[in-house]
Amino acid sequence: MNISLKPLDQQVIVITGVSSGIGLATALAAAHEGAKLILAARSSQTLEEIVSEITAVGGQAISVHADVGLRVDVEKSPLRRWRNSAELTLGSTMPVFQSTAGLTR
């Protein structure tokens, strides 16, 4: 199988769990490579700080406050809304979805 992928600077990526760990590292690395990002996390303050950090150096990112472990948050923030946000704000549709949110009890 021969797969041809677009470069990161031509992609929009949704990343959940961006407050810390792999989610944060993935978001920062993707932003560094020029990807347009839709970032989701439970902490609005942390999420806005990360978006600000990315946009301050010329990256493109928007935030969606959500706890993907809660059905109500997922239902009130459906992917079509995230896709619409990508189209309106970032000028592109969303081809990649990366979920790095952890589950805690």
For residue 83, is pLDDT > 70? no
Q: Which position has the higher pLDDT, 40 or 103? A: 40
Report d(CA 90, CA 88) in Å as an integer: 6
Mean pLDDT of 29-35: 95
For residue 27, is pLDDT > 90? yes
Q: How far is CA 40 from the centre of its chain?
A: 6
Q: Tell me, what's the pLDDT at 14?
A: 85
Q: Structure tokens of 19?
A: 């407050």
Specify the CATH number for 9-99; select among 3.40.50.720, 3.40.50.1970, 3.30.450.40, 3.90.950.10: 3.40.50.720
For residue 20, is pLDDT > 70? yes
C-alpha to C-alpha distances, 39 to 1, 2, 53, nearest whole angstrom = 31, 30, 13
